[in-house]
Amino acid sequence: MRYLHPHRGRARVTAFSGLRVLVVEDEATVAMLIEDMLEELGCEIAASVASVSRAMDIAPVVDVDLAMLDVNVAGEMVFPVALLLQERQIPVLFSTGYGMAGLPSEFSACQVLAKPFSQSDLVAKLALSLEH
């Protein structure tokens, strides 16, 4: 797990400035790209983890405003993590190549960011995720 210092000098002031985000992504390169995009928007990466088991450990206690979760994390579905976060009223944004069809019905209100995605796609889905 990687804890980062907020605003490493690249962040700009946006509607998402100061937003604390949990990232769950098993592909290191993809995780770094997501973290960079979020930080450029002024978000703070509260934690970034690469396994469902580690995400399950921190989901009950991590201080975040939103979670961005890969659906398939090293062959494991991330849905138990999403349920824990939803119980805490933390918005969940799924990033996946599966689309909405890959999500159980209990997550129908969650936003889905289709991989690959651009920063403008991320901005749009962040905004929609925070509306709920």
Closest CA to 131 of 104, 102, 110, 106: 110
Q: Is the pLDDT of residue 85 over 90?
A: yes
* 121: helix, strand or coil: helix
Give pLDDT, residue 12.
Answer: 62
| Residue 8 maps to a domain | no
Q: Is 78 exposed, middle or buried (0-12, 13-18, 19+ CB in 10 A)?
A: buried
- Contact assessment for residue 69 and residue 80, using Cβ atoms and an 8 Å cutoff: no
| Residue 117 maps to a domain | yes
| Residue 39 maps to a domain | yes
pLDDT range class, residue 112, cuts 50, 70, 90: very high
The total domain count for the chain is 1
Give pLDDT, residue 74.
Answer: 95
Q: Is the pLDDT of residue 3 over 50?
A: no
State the CATH number of the domain containing residue 34. Answer: 3.40.50.2300
Give pLDDT, residue 37.
Answer: 96
| Residue 93 maps to a domain | yes
- Token pair listed for 97: 């190549």
| Residue 13 maps to a domain | no
pTM score of the predicted model: 0.88
| Residue 4 maps to a domain | no
How far is residue 10's CA from residue 24's CA, in Å, rounded to a whole number? 22
Give pLDDT, residue 14.
Answer: 79
**Amino acid occupying residue 9:** G
Give pLDDT, residue 99.
Answer: 75
Q: Is 93 exposed, middle or buried (0-12, 13-18, 19+ CB in 10 A)?
A: buried
Q: Per-residue pLDDT averaged across 74-103, rounded?
A: 92
The model's pLDDT over 28-74, given as tens digits with 9 standing for 90+, comes to: 999 999 999 999 999 999 999 999 999 999 999 999 999 999 999 99
CB atoms under 10 Å from CB of 101, counted, come to 7
**Average pLDDT of the chain, as a whole number:** 90
Domain range spanning residue 31?
Answer: 20-131
| Residue 85 maps to a domain | yes
